[in-house]
Structure 1
């Protein structure tokens, strides 16, 4: 049967009892239900204080709540002794409360919230051992002026809620829940122990200090555990610590729930567990872990259990060996040791609590019945001394300063445990100096020298970024390689950085490298091939010029306007050479030179061809009767026409260079990982004006040559000019779309190809047939053969 069901039955019984009592005593103004609460320790005084401690564990029974006076809690007994010592010191002082004595009633709450509330209400309403009370007794002042306790947060919260409206102080020595600092809810609560607000953060820093970023967490399902673990979780997330699991239980939970937690621990990959548990809940957990021999876990504990000798006594299977956690610093109080040691039964007013303490401490009995197992008899003279079990201020919430000792469980050879102080955490110091470890000899689980915490995911190397796995903690992630052009140069990077525009990521994506500069180089295959073709064209043009010069007096050369022929050969040479300006790294001068040289030399070339075509056409017209046209196409006119047509292109180029000249630029758009070094056109109008003028002259030349293609001579030059112009126009018409669509250096190669192809077209179509006659068939190089019909 669950705890809640048992409590429900209890409350039903209480309700029934209330109804019966009310019906029997309806004529009385006030009546007591049940027995009065009897203190474990008491002393009269002018001002009475109540002490709430749980000397014994609470046991549940199907009928109702019963309390078993077994397994005396030595730490709680020491707490009570400290209270009595403080009262004795005050009563013996002539300065603190002169003429006023303090008395006390110390009660055993057995760790039960219900019992704590019941005792508190009894102290408020009156605790006389009578069946009926007078009217005056119901409105009289409370018996206790203050309550010292509880040792846990949940009972303290409950009691503080009950007595808060009456402004009765509740002073706790061990309730650490940060919720109790809220003065709007708990106006009369005070404590002499730091709030868990600081402890939770201290635990998070402790875990982070050892590099444990993948941990499990277990808490007590009460105010202490829930509030403390919530603060720890928040601080842990800020420090980059991830919780693989986050479970809670209470000591009265069904065994099945506790087994689920055990199974979670078994199935987990983390080797570190942060336990924000009360001592009694830790006892339940450690008992189950010992039964199932679950070891090898590094425990990180809160102050509630890390310094508890009773829990250490349960560590028989070394489950908690190497545990580390926080403890309230020990302080030296004058005469307190002597007071603690003076607990002999004969000097304690024959109080049953001291008798029980003595018997539990020395495993003996003062009085033994025949039915009991015979034990060693207590003499009362046993030696207690041989038994081993800050400026002070308060903040605005009534909390003392937060300072903790760091305790490490170091097992002895005989199986017991030493609580060794290995460090300190002081929240009043600067953030980077709060955690100190003066002692380096720490012991971890399995007596290892270090604890290697496992991870949900491996560290992401540089060049990758962390991508969180859906539905899992932030420490569970996938390592995804950075995209092209992005890098991460640190481990566990959450984002990838984009490289600057001039840089690109390397293959490992962990560094930005300068992008490769791409342009048409002389040393690469395509550049070398185009250079060779250009030089070959130049050499071939020079050879043709040499042949024409050698045979300059022959009829074939003289009949074809030798002056324009040599000028055309010269311009073709320049055309072949200007293609070289397109190869190599673009510079300010090369960008201006390549386009203007190309435009002017080609216009010079086309002007010469156009002059030759006009001469052929006009020569035929001049043979007609009454025609004297050749006087307008003499050598002078030919020179002027070529010069004039070329000068127009020069003017266009000058305007282009003056207004918006070509310039070297970096193209980042064509390729992501390369920089295209190219010549920007500057003024696109200037560029297309140059090309347009060349095209206009080429079309005009083609028309005139076409008209003169059937003139009656054996070596009609107009035929060859027509072919050359067809090639020229075809090349440049094809050039435009190819130039626009080609990326990077390929657009430059297309332009060079167009220059070379059109130049070779003119050279081959106009001059090679003549060279063939002059070199191979010299018998045809006569006036008769040249004139034909």
Structure 2
């Protein structure tokens, strides 16, 4: 069994899914008479673990007996799981999407952005509520061009997300006359020698702007070492994978990352979500395993349950510790982004089911109860998912294009230190990939706080710095 590092932000995504499901189940106008259920499994952000979890889901081997125990609960799907929401990373998502595709089981990702996933022949049942990197790359190229940054370096990680993103960025920037001073890939388990070699290159390069296509966990070690070296004169440009990552806002990294700019998914405040997250409590029930892990990790104690977590933790949890006294990526929901993508994925499935089950149609009479006399197959749900089109409570149109892609909307974020000495994510612009050329990128330069208090402009001609 692979040991996973517990991710508070990912746990918030999971709880947002539960919140959305409970919200729909209490909504008399959406899926009346139908109750949505769910199962949650961990991928550990690993291809093999993702495939194993997916097979458990679609084969019905996880908690099937428990699911069938309640005779009053009539399951409307022929398959154990008619749709899957996930995954976060592109490489595991590709593996799962390839496996589910031939069976027509919908897979909706909230965070896998790789352009490689747009191939409908290879991934026929894949959709996503997060824009493809093709739009983010276009926006990043426009951003660096807007500020005259033509001599830049790139840093990535050893995965599909990074490989495809940096390749596309490099090609587009060079077509506009820009130059790549260096590119480095951070290995999945880098040695100290490899970290030092990358930083030696960054220090010796005359390029002052670094575009990083990577996840926060894989960047952390490199950035900590950069702080130790006092490598603070670089302007970092963040991809959406880490631009709002609380993990990297620790005081140690402020001299390195203050002034960072980058692209983030559209942010929203979801009414009721904050209160819902704070109501989470540990329990000895088997379905609370992730909540219990979260609780032990957050409060540094051990629950006295049989399946408790880290046995090395000495103090016992009471179970009544106060979440309101904590401040971390789980409780920070002032403007959620990836969680909002999860929220939209749940509602997209609900609206597709609403159409599939003919809820509220004239044939069902005045009570508007959904048609539940016969079971449906996942491919039927996929058909309606591809056609789903609704406006949510935030006045955003939710639908998928022919490639299963959403409307490409981004916020442009700047890392700024506030009066309390903490990093805050300041929105300084927007990018709309569906707008006409020349009207896509909008930036309020007066709001930006730059690294070192100024912009670093690097130019090149014929591959040589000017």
Per the shorter chain, which TM-score range? 0.7 to 0.9
2:257 pairs, out of 320, 324, 346, with: 320
CA drift of 1:414 comes to 5.0
DSSP 3-state at the match of 2:241? helix
Aligned CA RMSD, in angstroms, stands at: 3.0
User: In the alignment, what sits opposite 2:416?
Assistant: 410
Q: Do the aligned partners of 2:148 and 2:457 also contact (CA within 8 Å) in 1?
A: yes
Distance 1:179 1:445, change over 3 A: same
Say if 1:365 and 1:118 are closer, same or farther in 2 by CA, change over 3 A: closer
Say which SS state the counterpart of residue 93 (structure 1) adopts. coil
Q: Which residue is equivalent to 1:750? A: none
Bigger CA radius of gyration: 1
2:399 is paired with a residue whose SS is coil
- In the superposition, relative to structure 1, how do residues 129 and 205 fare at CA in structure 2: closer, same or farther (>3 Å)? closer
Structure 1 residue aligned with 2:407, among 396, 401, 406?
Answer: 401
The corresponding residue for 1:184 is: 121
Bigger relative contact order, structure 1 or 2 (CA pairs below 8 A, ≥6 apart): 2
CA–CA distance in 2 between the matches of 1:347 and 1:418? 37
How far off is 1:201 after superposition? 0.8
Task: Measure the CA separation in 1 of the matches of 2:450 and 2:294.
Answer: 34
Report the equivalent of 1:170: 107
Classify 1:372/1:67 alpha carbon distance in 2 versus 1 (closer, same or farther; 3 Å): closer
Equivalent residues of 2:251, 2:422 under 8 A apart: no
Partner of 2:429: 423
Question: How far apart, in 2, do the equivalents of 1:120 and 1:220 lie?
Answer: 25
Partner of 2:3: 67
Is the contact between residue 425 and residue 434 of structure 1 (CA under 8 Å) also seen in structure 2? yes
Work out which of the residue numbers 50, 55, 58 in structure 2 matches 1:116. Answer: 50
CA deviations 1:653-681 (Å, max 9, x no partner) are: xxxxxxxxxxxxxxxxxxxxxxxxxxxxx
Q: Does the CA-based 8 Å contact 2:60-2:81 persist in structure 1?
A: no
- In the alignment, the residues of structure 2 paired with residue 391 and residue 317 of structure 1 have an alpha-carbon distance, to the nearest angstrom, of 37
What SS is found at the alignment partner of 1:392? strand
CA deviation map 1:569-609 (0-9, x unaligned) = xxxxxxxxxxxxxxxxxxxxxxxxxxxxxxxxxxxxxxxxx
- Separation of aligned partners in 2, 1:331 and 1:129: 34
By how many angstroms is 1:381 displaced? Answer: 5.3
Q: Are 1:387 and 2:327 counterparts? A: yes
Question: Is the deviation greater in 273-282 or in 346-355?
Answer: 346-355
Name the CA shift for 1:374/1:228 in 2 (closer, same or farther; >3 Å). Answer: same
Find the aligned partners of 2:284 and 2:20 in 1 and give their Cα distance. Answer: 18
Give the equivalent residue in structure 1 for 2:31: 97
Q: Distance in 1 between matches of 2:292 and 2:63?
A: 25
| Corresponding residue of 1:592 | none
Deviation at 1:194, TM superposition (A): 0.7
- Give the Cα separation in 2 of the matches to 1:349 and 1:128: 12
Q: 1:143 aligns with which of 74, 80, 83?
A: 80
Shift of 1:350: 8.1
TM-score computed with the length of structure 1 as normaliser = 0.45
Structure 2: where are the runs of 5+ without partners? 65-76, 330-395
DSSP-derived class of the 1:245 partner: strand
Partner of 2:238: 301
Question: 1:438/1:376 Cα in 2 relative to 1: closer, same or farther (>3 Å)?
Answer: farther
- Please give the residue correspondences for 1:297-376 in structure 2 after superposition, counting only pairs within 5 Å: 297-313=234-250, 315-316=252-253, 318-345=255-282, 351-363=288-300
Is contact 1:359–1:378 with CA below 8 Å preserved after alignment? no
> How far apart are the structure 1 equivalents of 2:56 and 2:223?
36
C-alpha distance in 2, partners of 1:122/1:409? 41
The answer to whether residue 220 in structure 2 is matched with residue 283 in structure 1 is yes
Q: 2:342: which partner in 1?
A: none
1:282 CA drift (Å):
1.6
Q: Deviations over 1:240-259 (max 9, x none)?
A: 22111122233224444443
Deviations 1:482-532 (A, max 9, x none): xxxxxxxxxxxxxxxxxxxxxxxxxxxxxxxxxxxxxxxxxxxxxxxxxxx
Q: 1:398 to 1:373 in 2, by over 3 A?
A: closer
Q: Is the 8 A contact 2:208 2:234 kept in 1?
A: yes
Structure 1: gaps of 5 or more residues = 1-64, 131-139, 458-467, 478-789
Give distance in 2, aligned partners of 1:317 and 1:297.
Answer: 12
Relative to 1, partners in 2 of residues 1:86 and 1:265: Cα closer, same or farther, differing over 3 Å? same
Q: 1:381 to 1:373 in 2, by over 3 A?
A: closer
Shift of 1:281: 1.6
Q: Describe how 1:49-68 pairs up with structure 2 within 5 A.
A: 66-68=2-4
Residue of structure 2 equivalent to 1:454:
458
CA contact (8 A) 1:269 1:455 kept: no
Whether contact under 8 Å (1:222, 1:250) holds in the other structure is no
Kept in 2, the 8 Å contact 1:194–1:399? The answer is yes
For 2:184 and 2:136, how far apart are their aligned partners in 1?
19
Residue pairs, 1:473-622, within 5 angstroms: 473=463, 475-476=464-465
Match of 2:137 in 1: 200
Q: Decide which structure has greater helix share.
A: 1
Structure 1 Cα separation of the partners of residues 413 and 20 of structure 2 = 27
Cα shift at 1:294: 2.3
Give the drift of 1:373.
Answer: 6.7
Kindly state the Cα deviation for residue 380 of structure 1 after the two structures are TM-superposed: 1.5
d(CA) in 2 for partners of 1:234, 1:269:
21
Q: Deviations over 1:128-162 (max 9, x none)?
A: 699xxxxxxxxx96422111100111110111011
1:19-98 aligned at under 5 Å gives the runs 66-68=2-4, 70=5, 72-98=6-32
Matched length:
384
Task: Note the C-alpha offset of 1:90.
Answer: 2.4
Please state whether the residue corresponding to 1:305 is helix, strand or coil.
coil
